[in-house]
Amino acid sequence: MHSRYRNSMAQDSSAHPHSVKDPHDHSPPMFLAWAAGLPIAGLLLWLIGYVFCDCIVVMSKDEQLDTWVRHPDYSLRFHSEGWGTSHFAEHGIVGTKQGPAADDRTVVIWGDSYVEAVHVDDSTKMHNQFNRLWQKKHPDSPLRAYAVGQAGYHMFDYLKLMPKFGDNLGDVQAHVIVLHTPSDLYPPKPGQLERPVSQQVQAYSQPKPLAMRWREPWRDLELSALWILVRDSKGVKLRWQPGAIADAPQPAADPAPWNPEPSYWGDLLTELKQRADAPVTILYLPTVPFLEDGQLIVEDENESLMTKFAEACHEHGIGFVSMRDTLIEAYHKHGRIPRGFANTLPGRGHLNDLGHAVVAHKLTELMEERVGAVLSR
Amino acid sequence: MLFYHAEFIILVTVVLLFLRFVPARRAQNIFLLAISYYFYAYWDWRYLGLILAITACNYLSGLALGRWREQRAQKLIVFAAMAIDLGILGFFKYYNFFVESLQHFVEPTGINTWSLKILLPVGISFYTFQSMSYTIDVYRKQLPVCRSLVDFSLFVAFFPQLVAGPIVRASELIPQIRNDREMTAARMRSGLRQFVLGLFKKVFIADNLAMFVDFHFSNAGLFDAPTMWLVVIAYALQIYCDFSGYSDMAIGVARMMGFDFSVNFNFPYIARTATDFWRRWHISLSSWLRDYLYIPLGGNRKGPARMQVNLLITMILGGLWHGASWNFVIWGLIHGMALIVHKNFTTLTRNMTVPTALRPLWQSGSWLLTMVVVLVCWVFFRASTFEQSWLILRQMFIPHEGLTHLSPFPLGVAAAFAIHHALLNTRFSRWIQLDLDQKWTPTILWLMLGITLLFWPEGFQPFIYFQF
């Protein structure tokens, strides 16, 4: 029963004998095989990079907004978390190739990577799901959602961009800001809470994305694989000194729980209300539910902070909705966590198709409440 | 420094250049020894004292065995050497384990045992066993005494296999150290092939599986049965690729330098019996245990009952070698019992033959049963506690509701392994084995290197066997 394997030429890689050239073998020498193998492997690697890696993100400077946005002529393939292809209209409007006309009734959804949502296809993104739901429920009351989101955006970006968009967002009926972490409410530079928000927004500018001049030609040739290899090689640091094994670097401690100055929030929300040309609602997406140490965690560590923030919003005429209960309910109803993808981990990272659907339903309810009354007149 | 770090690649390049242009064997051995000590000190310079102590103990024991030939003196020398070797290993690796286990029993009496904060030196299990094999082989007159301190020290500390094996016998390595070595183009190609294969297995497959496995083991209670089966299969592939990948890199580097190490893995997951599995998995350890523990205990020479006891002792101690935890003891115990069952079954059925028509079914069934046992054992091996082991086994074998997460990467790896192993003994074997005289082999090796670099996982994943 075992001799077949014992005597088999199929041995584990470690058993491999040295190659011996057959004197009757007239094939080209192995040197050519190695030399030719490199470009062939390179071509295959190019193909693998095209299919499995994230594409190179091309950005352009939007003169009207005075900021860098995703270039509208390039789609964005994102495969490292989720699997999505995203398109962009002018001014970085997400998930569509065409922005709104000036007289289109719109609701604008602002956010960071959660709204940009490159992890899912355009049709799955929360605002496009909202559009289908709204069209189905209120075919006679046209209202369309558009998303303005980019990874890394925070409140100062929204404050800066809102007035600059002008008519490019249509006839805005409502603004919804998707917030998933309280840190996005705070100034990008620490220790600035005492300065007036208007001054900080004035002085704030989005950091210029790296390596812009290389991106377009590399993207045209779809050189994602090479781009990643070059980028990763820059992070290599050498250590030659023998030493004790250092303890594994501890993750950076969470910032001390913010002890916000009430005046800061008031200043921020006042500034938000002034810059927005329509009612504003903040939609809070806590990270729950998630899995940790064998438990399903449903408690949001930022709940008390966000409860205080919600009160401040209410005082300043800004809407605030927490999605905590809705997300937990979605888990119990569907048996899936609204975050995480097949190629990542459940409960970690960005919203998946279920998460976007849940948010789209909530947006529909919100708009029915806030906008529906106006549209029905 | 790990084998896939830039520092190691640069270091090996320097070593190869030195060996190529400095042919004097003694100079080469001194240089290799210095590099090996540097390699070990790179982890933690404090460990150097330990390896020097083990080296001194066994070197002097060898000299003493050569000097005093009386049987009684020989036994005393070997006993003293083993006591020192195992004492050092036992203290660093098992002190806290035994103390804490003892505490569990004596607690009602009010007695307090003291556990210590002990740093576990990297590779201690490997080089201790390796050194012991020298002393025992000299005692058995199977090996001449090595009188050169440089040569012996290099045998103990040789950097490619120092920290995670394979365990290379003195009879295999010392002659290679003492004789002139060849560095040929064929060896370079063969060694490089081995290294790239090992790198691909360790970094691309094992480290990317690790993230999936770690998360699901920690949250096992929340996932359904199919997911947990995938997790355990993923772990089986992870540990195989991690360990055999490391072995491949070690063997490849050594081959480039002119040294030949024996096979350490031989496709263990095609094994159809527990016995066959242990002929294919961590061969250097299983053969060490056979030659230095199982056979001295009596092997199978003292009747079937004693053979079974010897097997159990060997496998339990083999489990304990992996780590100071009852989980490893259970792992070894289950494997021991599987070996006993197989041996008894073979004895009972030695006069029976399987009908030809049923042979494929019989072989498939044997394979499936063996793999289920191996997977169950891996649960104990990987889980951090006994309770976690039982939880995972319940999640696997009892249908229940839970989250489903059939991630494409582990599924793809499992499918690729299944196809690869199925083709092993077919006409495609030379292709999938990447024989060096196949014209496509260089392309595939370049591609594997590229894929490894492209999908380099974030975060540090140490070799699993470093902890042993």
Write down the pLDDT at residue A258.
55
List chain B residues with CB under 8 Å of A25: 437
Task: Point out the least confidently predicted range of A30-34, A215-219, B202-206.
Answer: A30-34
Residues 6+ apart with CB under 8 A from B234: B209, B212, B213, B410, B413, B414
Reduced to 3 states (helix: H, G, I; strand: E, B; else coil), residue B123 is: coil
A49 in reach of chain B (CB within 8 A): yes
Which member of B211, B222, B443 has the closest CB to residue A294?
B222
Catalytic one among B104, B216, B282, B322? B322
**B217: which DSSP letter?**
H
Chain B nearest CA to A298, separation (Å): 14
3-state SS assignment for residue B426: coil
Does the predicted TM-score (pTM) go above 0.80?
yes
Q: What is the mean pLDDT of residues A315-331?
A: 96
Look at A294 and B429 and tell me if their CB atoms are within 8 Å: no
Say whether A85 sits in a helix, a strand or coil. Answer: strand
Is 60 exceeded by the pLDDT of residue B428?
yes
Report which of residues A8 and B288 the model is more confident about. Answer: B288
Mean pLDDT within B87-111: 74
Residue A95 to residues A85, A105, A243, B122, B320: CA-CA distances in angstroms? Answer: 9, 17, 51, 52, 57
SS3 B391: helix
Residue A305 in contact with residue A258, Cβ under 8 Å?
yes
**pLDDT value of residue A257:** 47
Identify the pLDDT of residue A18: 44
Chain A: give the shortest CA distance to residue B145, in Å: 29
**Which of the residues B184, B267, B466 would you substitute to probe the A interface, choosing the one with the greatest number of A C-beta atoms within 10 Å?**
B267
Q: Judge contact between A287 and A300, C-beta under 8 A.
A: yes
Tokens encoding A117: 């949502």
The partner residues of A149 in beta bridges, in order of sequence, read A111
User: In terms of pLDDT, which residue wins out, A24 or B339?
Assistant: B339
| Distance from the Cα of residue B383 to its chain's centroid | 18
- The verdict on B419 touching A (C-beta cutoff 8 Å) is no
Lowest mean pLDDT among A23-32, A81-90, A150-159, A168-177: A23-32
pLDDT band at residue B466 under the 50/70/90 scheme: low
- Per the model's pLDDT, the better-predicted residue between A258 and B207 turns out to be B207
Q: Chain B: nearest CA to A8, how far in angstroms?
A: 7
* pLDDT greater than 70 at residue B160: yes
| Of residues A125 and B422, more confidently modeled | A125
What does the pLDDT read at residue B353? 86
Record the tokens describing residue A207, joined without a space: 């950091």
pLDDT given at position A5: 28
Q: For residue A236, is pLDDT > 60?
A: yes
| Of B98 and B344, the one with more pLDDT | B344
- What per-residue confidence (pLDDT) applies to B3? 87
Q: Is B102's pLDDT higher than 80?
A: no
A38 in B contact zone (CB under 8 Å) = yes
Please give the residue that has the higher pLDDT: either A191 or B18: B18
Phi first, then psi: give them for residue B26, nearest 5 degrees.
-65, -45
pLDDT category of residue B435 using cuts at 50, 70 and 90: confident
Best of A14, A293, A336, A345 to mutate (most B CBs within 10 Å, chain B): A14
**Average of per-residue pLDDT values in chain A:** 86
pLDDT band at A3 (very low <50, low <70, confident <90, very high): very low
Residue with tokens 């003994």: B425
Coil, helix or strand at residue A106 = strand
Q: Judged by CB atoms within 8 Å, which residues 15-34 of A form the interface with B?
A: 15-22, 25, 27-28, 30, 33-34
- The pLDDT, as a whole number, for residue B61 is 96
Q: How confident is the model at residue B100 (pLDDT cuts 50, 70, 90)?
A: confident
Model confidence band, residue B109 (pLDDT cutoffs 50, 70, 90): low
**Mean pLDDT along residues B276-283:** 96
pLDDT of B403 reads 95
Partner A contacted by B172 (CB < 8 A) = no
Residue numbers in A near B364 (CB within 8 A): none
Is residue B79 scored above 90 in pLDDT? yes
Per-residue confidence band for A277, with pLDDT thresholds at 50, 70 and 90: confident
Q: Residues of chain B with pLDDT > 70: what percent?
A: 94
For residue A28, what is the nearest residue in chain B, using CA coordinates?
B439
* Span of A23-27, A193-197, A362-366 with lowest mean pLDDT: A23-27
Residue of B219, B363, B366 lying closest to A291 (CB–CB): B219
Q: A342-357, pLDDT tens digit by residue?
A: 999 999 999 999 999 9
The predicted pLDDT at position A211 comes to 65
Distances (CA, A) of B195 to B2, B3, B331, B440, B442: 13, 9, 30, 17, 13
Q: Which residue has the higher pLDDT, A322 or A10?
A: A322
A168 neighbors A361 (Cβ within 8 angstroms): no
- Residue in this structure with the two tokens 């007239």, named with its chain if needed: A26
Q: Residue A9 above 70 pLDDT?
A: no
B88 by Cβ neighbours in 10 Å (0-12 / 13-18 / 19+) ranks as middle
pLDDT band at B111 (very low <50, low <70, confident <90, very high): low
B216 is catalytic: no
pLDDT of residue A313: 95
The pLDDT tens digits for A37-76 are: 999 999 999 999 999 999 999 999 999 999 999 999 899 9
**Which residue of chain B is at minimal alpha-carbon distance from A227?**
B454
Between CA B5 and CA A361 the distance in angstroms is 49
- The reported pLDDT for the residue numbered B94 is 81
Give Cα separations from B155 to B55, B158, B224 (angstroms): 9, 6, 49
- Average pLDDT of the segment spanning B59-69: 95
CA distances from A334 to A194, A281, A337, B215 (A): 45, 27, 8, 22
Residue A303: the pLDDT is: 92
Selected residues 330-349 of chain B with any CB under 8 Å from a CB in chain A: none
**DSSP state at residue B140:** T
pLDDT for B461 = 61
Q: What is the pLDDT of residue B427?
A: 83
Mean pLDDT of B441-460: 90
**Contacts with B406 from chain A: Cβ below 8 Å:** 342
Beta strand A144-149 pairing with A93-94: antiparallel
A 10 A CB-CB count for A60 gives 17
pLDDT, residue A6, reads 33
Sign of CA dihedral B292, B293, B296, B298: negative
Contact B442 A33 (CB under 8 A): yes
**CA atoms of A272 and A294, how far apart (whole Å):** 41
Distance between CA B53 and CA B56 in Å, rounded? 5
Cβ atoms of B320 and B333 within 8 Å: the answer is no
pLDDT for res A17: 42
User: Which tens digits make up the pLDDT trace of A162-220?
Assistant: 999 988 999 999 999 999 999 888 877 766 777 888 888 888 888 777 767 678 888 99
Label residue B96 by pLDDT band (50, 70, 90): confident
A246 Cβ under 8 Å from any chain B Cβ = no
* Model pLDDT for residues B318-377, shown as the tens digit of each residue: 998 888 888 999 999 999 999 999 999 999 888 888 889 989 999 999 999 999 999 999
Q: What is the pLDDT of residues B302-319, one digit of tens each?
A: 899 999 999 999 999 999
Looking at residue B379, its pLDDT comes to 97
Provide the shortest C-alpha distance from residue A292 to chain B (in Å).
7
Task: Look at residues A144, A94, A90 and name the one whose alpha carbon lies nearest to residue A117.
Answer: A94
Mean pLDDT score, A137-162: 94
Residue A236: list chain B partners with CB under 8 A. 6
pLDDT in tens, A242-262: 877 555 555 555 455 455 666
Inspect the interface and report whether the beta carbons of A10 and B425 lie closer than 8 Å: yes
How confident is residue B104, by pLDDT bands cut at 50, 70 and 90?
A: low
Tell me whether residues A245 and B44 touch, CB distance under 8 A.
Answer: yes
* Per-residue confidence (pLDDT) for residue A355, from 0 to 100: 97
pLDDT per residue as tens digits for the range B25-44 = 999 999 999 999 999 999 88
Q: How far is B70 from chain A (nearest CA, A)?
A: 41
| Strand A105-111 versus strand A84-86 pairing type | unpaired
